[in-house]
Structure 1
Amino acid sequence: MQFNYRHTLNACYTGYITQAIVNNLAPILFIVFQQQFGISFEQVGRLILINFGTQIVADLLAVRYVDKIGYRTAAVLAHFFSVLGLIGLAVLPQIFSPYTGLNIAVMIYALGGGLLEVVVSPIVESLPGEQKQSAMSLLHSFYCWGQVCVVLISTLLLWIFSSSIWMYLPIMWAIVPFINLFVFLKVPLMPPMPKEHLMPLKSLLKSKFFLMALVLMMCAGASELTMSQWSSLFAERGLKVSKVIGDLAGPCMFAVLMGIGRTIYGIWGHKINLKNAMLASGVLCILCYFITVFSALPVLGLIGCAVCGISVSLMWPGTFSLSAEKFSRGGTAMFGMLAVFGDLGASIGPWMAGFISDAAQNSQKILEIGATQQLDPAQLGLKCGLFAASVFPILLVIGVLYFRNAKVKSL
């Protein structure tokens, strides 16, 4: 079979589906982990922190070494670690103490997720064709559709066969990166930009516009992943709906609407002002967080969770596109640093929500306030955690306003 750049693009799409598997399978199992292994909200949040913290390490290593080993080797390694970690998620809790096993598995597949994040975007950016902003958004939409598949299929299998089969799910999902590993061994890749033509990392970090892009990435990661990672648990424990309804109306609809937003921009993005669209997205995201937290009706809380998906849809790929447009010679270093700060937000945001949640449940004064609103400790804690995380979309709106009003030539 003769492979062409269309196959390369499809492999990149599947790479983002792999990243969706890595980031979103464990949250579907959080309730199972709590029930079977007795882990706390803070420990759940720590799993998310470890996942994205490890991805940060992988991002930093990629910035230093990817140009030396090449995109192909890095992409193959990313899929290898993803396969190994997913299988480990099923096996290692049976070998070590459960929480230790979960931590080890998460760290292994997070290495794969971090490498994918740094490698896939510049591969797509380098492929022949115009309308790079639209292509980047369409690429990121496959993360969303991967998330939809993970949530929908995993939830239905747990509902049909019960939670006792949970350990088979990671092994089943490991098939996707296993196949794509071999595809990346064959597809053609564009030669990288010569090193002497690239913008040095030191020069990037001296630019106040790039520093603001890093802040935007951190806020984008925190805004998206806090709601995404906690929505399943929040729906079941905070809104008191069943797990099936909570998963389908929470993280599944979140991912569907996020995917729709990115797909729409991927198709018609050349007709839309990206900065204005990101500003509107940030304002909508703030409203969604507030509706989710303060609504007394579970259905409105679920709507807030779901609509938050479309509100965050442009934040991550939009910041990538703005940066690629302004710093056309940024190369792997630019994408790597953006990924570092995106993962930093993706780790800090959900962990902070879990930390605040546990702290609120241990505060007598806050519990008394919750009692006046007829909220049990779990409901109150989760609402406090998500409310604290609303600071991230607020900061993002401020950052986009700065970016929109600033003028900088392409570098």
Structure 2
Amino acid sequence: MEARYRSTLWACCFANFFQAVGSCFAILYVPLRGLYGLSFTDFGILVSLNFITQVASDVLFSKPVEKYGFRPFAVAAPLVSAAGLGLFAAAPLLFPRRPFAGFCAGMFLFAAAGGLQELLLSPILDALPIPEERKARSMSMLHSFFAWGQIFVVLATTGLLAVWGAARWQWIVLLWAAPPVAGAVLFCRVPLARKNGGAPPLPLRALARKGVFYALLAAIVLGGAAEVTMAQWASAFLEKGLRLPKLAGDVWGVCFSR
């Protein structure tokens, strides 16, 4: 890879690694239930909001990204993600009577940024003017970073909960807001390129008239819903349903649910 684009690869890997910060919510559900009296229905709403917002973000931002380029969105997405985490942590202070409303608002911002970042990272790497063989290896490495990030976030969050206690969960969430801010700084500096050539994108109206579009959309929605259900609910199920210790539920349920 050309030296000048190596920083771009590592910025994308860094962003994908800490995109796994969303895994911390699955670990916090049971502690939040005890602290604020939330129901499992409330958590189902949060999980659904997370998934639906990410899918909608993928669709809604595709045209603006194509029109205005990668950089403004690559810088904005991690900042919005950090803002969502901050709002989630501040929900009990901002909404003392109904913290669930603040949790939903924070989750919405975090999920919208996550969907946008999913839309950006692979195309940013694919647009770099480097040999295809190196690009394929770099793409594989990029996507592996999310899995490693999930293991890191789960183990770190579980360890911090064990040391600090559930009452200090807000400090853990605020701690995870720092890496996205660093990611935004990186994307202000690294070189980016636009993809040249290839078939022109199909307009959304024309795409909506194709039956295969709805089949693929259904596969994405159902497959994504299954993944989110396992990743977000496994820890709570193992802890409350099977009566396993929280450490075991977090590690086995969230680390290895994808």
TM-score of the alignment, normalized to the shorter chain, above 0.5: yes
Query: For structure 1, which segment, 171-180 or 205-214, has the greater mean C-alpha deviation from structure 2 after superposition?
Result: 205-214
Return the alpha-carbon distance in structure 2 between the equivalents of residues 208 and 138 of structure 1.
34
Aligned to 1:125: 126
Q: 1:336-355 to 2 correspondence within 5 Å?
A: none
> In 1, Cα distance between the equivalents of 2:232 and 2:190?
33
Can you list the C-alpha shifts for 1:12-31, whole angstroms capped at 9, x where unaligned?
A: 1122123211x212111000
Q: Residue in 1 aligned with 2:161?
A: 158
| AA aligned opposite 2:99 | P
Aligned equivalent of 2:102: 101
Equivalent position amino acid for 1:103 in 2: C
* Superposition deviation, residue 149 in structure 1: 1.2
Is 1:184 the counterpart of 2:187 in the alignment?
Answer: yes
Given that residues 88 and 106 in structure 2 are in contact (C-alpha distance below 8 angstroms), is that contact kept between their aligned partners in structure 1? yes
| 1:15 lines up with 2:18 in the alignment | no
**Structure 2: gaps of 5 or more residues:** none
Query: Which of 130, 138, 142 lines up with 2:141 in the alignment?
Result: 138
**Which residue of 2 is the match for residue 37 of structure 1?**
36
* Partners of 2:7 and 2:190 within 8 A in 1: yes
Q: Aligned-pair distance for 1:139?
A: 1.9
Q: Distance in 2 between matches of 1:185 and 1:99?
A: 34
Secondary structure of residue in 2 paired with 1:190: coil
Deviation at 1:44, TM superposition (A): 0.3
Contact map agreement 1:155 1:244 (CA 8 A) in 2: yes
The two structures have a TM-score, normalised by structure 2, of 0.89
Q: Per-residue deviation at 1:248?
A: 1.3
Aligned-pair CA distance for 1:212: 4.2
The structure number with the bigger radius of gyration is 1
AA aligned to 1:119 is L
**Does the 8 Å contact 2:54/2:112 carry over to 1?**
yes
Distance 1:126 1:46, change over 3 A: same
Residue type of the alignment partner of 2:125: V
Letter in 2 for 1:108: L
The C-alpha deviation readout for 1:182-210, integer Å capped at 9, x for no partner, is 1101111112336x952313555555555
Give per-residue Cα distances to partners, 1:92-131, cap 9 Å, x unaligned: 2221121111111111112211110111121122222325
CA distance in 1, matches of 2:8, 2:78: 15
Equivalent residues, number: 252
Q: Cα distance, 1:238 vs. partner?
A: 1.4
Deviation at 1:220, TM superposition (A): 2.9
| Number of the residue aligned with 1:403 | none
In structure 2, distance between residues paired with 1:211 and 1:51: 21
Q: Quote the Cα distance in structure 2 between the aligned partners of 1:155 and 1:249.
A: 11
Aligned partners of 2:118 and 2:142: how far apart in 1? 11
Q: Does 1:226 align with 2:229?
A: yes
State the SS of the aligned residue for 1:185: helix
